[in-house]
Structure 1
């Protein structure tokens, strides 16, 4: 399947994941409030931490290895069987550790039922096999599955979440949205791969998996330590404010990194075949795409944070506005990190270098979270998270430059930043001309996007924008 078609399917998949939290959080936050949202988010985050640990680096490793041998059915069956077996074992071990922690630490007993249900998420962690479908480039299945599961979950929220007392129902629907996708993955394996139970070679995967596992641990720490530390050091209200800001920030990230996800199998194949020209072209497209979209998105999140928080979370989350502004750079930083790490270092076999990058980020995030949360609460967590991601990105870039002969056009960053400055007068004008907040936000998004891409097309002559423009004219038969 072509890159363009895979990209479109992946965009559809990502849009469903973007719209789902926008709709659900906007609706439920007004009913359940900061404290209720914080309670659920903490329980889910705590359970998903153990899922990430149990994954043992298999998602990144699986995509790379599946992409290498996808044309050989026997090798594919054997590889998948080995990786899923390892994941089942680690999920069981992870569940035991999870159960011991919530049983012996009394802090969890105040909301023990939520954490017991969270154990279901931990146990089903082995069924998170998106890596297999990405490796064989079955993006159409991922998009259809996501649309249906998310659609059912959204309908359920509107039907059953009516009062603050429906917190447990909200938690159950959240679990359904996770488990539904996971188990559908397993059912869809029929005809694509056959499970083997004999002659499995589990040990040969362990050296690389342990390196990626260590990377997974460090990533999970510096990406989830913010909410966990907030939950332990402050209260559910602070977690709720922070969750509102981070959810909004991270809504855009899957769309920003969507092209890179599609390119990983192609990048892996170009590395295996030693096609340096193809690798440079793929990297150039991915880097341009990130700069083109991530920088104006971060800029817009910072400028229009008041409108975004009010529209998506309600006036009771106004205290989350500065937190969102502080977290806005995450869109660009995570986008860059996705290029240097998952797209380049891991497919090229430099997972140890990526591990070192994540260790630096983890250390930065943990230390700063411990210090800043006590002083600035949710705002301190945002600062710590941004600086942690910055360290990961810059360290991973260092290793890419050291180990791979690739060029990056950093002028694209300045071009995107200069084009985004036009958002400032637009924000000032709209603030005094449109009083209705939702309408002001809609007008802001449309006008900023139109002017930004026009500047990129006419002044900076951005090639990707020009290609999209010409294809649009052809479709419309201008």
Structure 2
């Protein structure tokens, strides 16, 4: 119960932070649509995608290892921090030089090259933030990373909106994003310093170990970035920057709505999975089931809203006729959210059970599949083809990854929750369709109310989950002996017992414990009493 209360508290903090981040992101999205237009936004989105494509070792190297290994052994935190920051800095220098050289060789114009130069610097600050965030997550602290994200997104939205409204250039907006990212990194570093100190200790053996064990993560991450971002490069090559802007506008919403896995699975549940793999397969199965239930309950109505209400959403957010072409791309991307949410849980479980090499194989298959789809679909359907490629690739990943979950840890009960949530989402979709000409402030709340009403009628969330959540919230302030505290005490007693030497044990045996007046009736006790009586009779004593 104590662990559940901590999960509930961490989830509440994350959701509050995400609400603020959403507001900031949507404000900045509106600014992009109104003040940049499709072409300028396409330039910025291409630069960000290009930098992410180049900087995959910084994004995917070491972070998941840090969270998993430090959650299992807190003593590794100092050496992991020092060596991962050193390795990331070296990687960044190499990758940044390569990015600038590539821009020169390909012949990008000055404006695009400057954008890539500025966004490339933000790679370093972003990877630093991720390193400290991984350590905070490993210690079960989500507050500091959440505040850092709020600072980054909030500053970017506030300053960016003012800059763009006053006629700022795309390069100025890229500088705003860079400064905001640096603020996040500085905040998390200060928080970690105040909590644990920052004594840097470089260890060649630790660096080698990190490099060796990070290879599956880096390779799978690289492949993942390629099949998520290569479509932008294909669009730039086969079409033009305006089409990239159409696709980027839809993908930005898709990216933003990947918030629940980012909030729940990676920072909160991943360390729990890592611990439960060492404790109990049954508890791991329960944790996986609850994760699936929670994500499916939310992602199905979100997907339905994106498909049915896409014209209204795009019209309100971007408020620019240029972005009407984004509507079919957003609708094609929407089903991919469902597959991505499920894949996030499965991949986290695979990593927790130290099967990350299988992720590399899966990602390689997905890369080949995605490249083939892009070559076929983008020339025919442009940005909509790129969106379809992303969704179909996520579906392929789901079909492969689900085979890697241990059968005893897979929760089939989640299929019942998914079917009920799907039926509720269908009814919600009908309501949205009937109200499609209404304002978004009426459309989305009406759809949400319809979904919740039907979900409650179908009892989509298991009653025991609701009772457990209610008890966790009700007893949040009460003190109760936690299971891990009892375990710690038992380990301490066991340690004290093993510290006794052979000279101490005879003295312990000689201690006469007070009796309760009840006779032992075990066979060994009866045998001992019989022998004692026989000895007393042999000595002439009356029994």
Counterparts in 2 of 1:468 and 1:242: CA distance versus 1, 3 Å = farther
Question: What is the alpha-carbon distance in structure 1 between the residues aligned to residue 436 and residue 45 of structure 2?
Answer: 33
Indicate which of 236, 248, 255 corresponds to 2:253.
248
Specify the alignment match of 1:437 in structure 2. none
Question: Does 1:449 pair with 2:451?
Answer: no
2-side partners of 1:189 and 1:469: how far apart? 31
Q: In the alignment, which residue of structure 1 is the partner of 2:489?
A: none
Q: 1:272 to 1:57 in 2, by over 3 A?
A: farther
Q: Is 1:430 equivalent to 2:431 in the alignment?
A: no
> Using the alignment, how far apart are the partners of 2:458 and 2:120 within structure 1?
54
Offset at 1:193? Answer: 4.2
Equivalent pair of 2:420/2:460 in contact (CA under 8 Å): no
Aligned to 1:190: 193
Specify every segment of 5 or more residues in structure 2 that has no aligned partner in the other structure, as ranges: 476-543
3-state SS in 1 of match to 2:165: coil
Q: Does 262-271 or 155-164 show the bigger shift?
A: 155-164
* Partners of 1:295 and 1:417 within 8 A in 2: yes
* Residue 208 of structure 1: aligned partner: 213
- Post-superposition offset of 1:122: 3.3
**1:239-260 CA distance string (max 9 Å, x none):** 1111111112222211355322
Task: Find the counterpart in structure 1 of residue 278 from structure 2.
Answer: 272
Q: What's the offset of the Cα at 1:330?
A: 1.8
Which of the numbers 166, 171, 174 marks the counterpart of 1:171? 174
Partner of 2:243: 238
Bigger shift: residues 202-211 or 371-380? 202-211
Per the alignment, residue 340 of structure 1 pairs with 346
**Residues 261-307 of structure 1, C-alpha deviations (whole Å, 9 max, x = no match):** 2111111111123x112211111110001111111111110000000
Task: After TM superposition, give the deviation of residue 468 of structure 1 in Å.
Answer: 9.3
What is the aligned partner in structure 1 of residue 462 from structure 2?
463
The equivalent residue for 1:106 is: 107
1:286 matched to 2:284? The reply is no
Q: Does the residue aligned with 1:431 lie in a helix, a strand or coil?
A: coil
Instruction: State how far apart, in whole Å, the 2-side matches of 1:145 and 1:151 are.
Output: 10
2:82 alignment partner in structure 1: 81
CA deviation profile, 1:333-381 (whole Å, cap 9, x unmatched): 110110110x200111010112222222222212211221111111010
Cα distance in structure 2, aligned partners of 1:238 and 1:40: 13
CA distance in 2, matches of 1:399, 1:198: 36
CA distance in 2, matches of 1:149, 1:420: 34
Q: What CA distance in whole angstroms lies between the structure 1 residues aligned with 2:154 and 2:427?
A: 37
Deviation at 1:8, TM superposition (A): 1.4
Maintained 8 Å contact 1:52/1:220: yes
Classify the secondary structure of the residue corresponding to 1:64.
Answer: helix
Greater shift, 156-165 or 382-391, is seen at: 156-165
Q: In the alignment, is the contact (CA less than 8 A) between 2:70 and 2:77 conserved in 1?
A: yes
In structure 2, the partner of 1:14 is 18
Counterpart CA distance in 2 for 1:362 and 1:134 is 30
CA contact (8 A) 1:327 1:383 kept: yes
2:218 is the counterpart of 1:219 = no
Partners of 2:473 and 2:272 in 1: CA distance: 29
Aligned to 2:213, what secondary structure does the other structure show? helix
Equivalent position SS for 1:161: helix
- The RMSD of aligned alpha carbons is 2.4
Q: TM-score if structure 1 supplies the norm length?
A: 0.90
- 1:151-201 deviations in whole A, cap 9, x for unaligned? 222221232212665322222212223232123333333142433335442
Uncovered stretches (5+) of structure 1, i.e. residues with no partner: 435-439
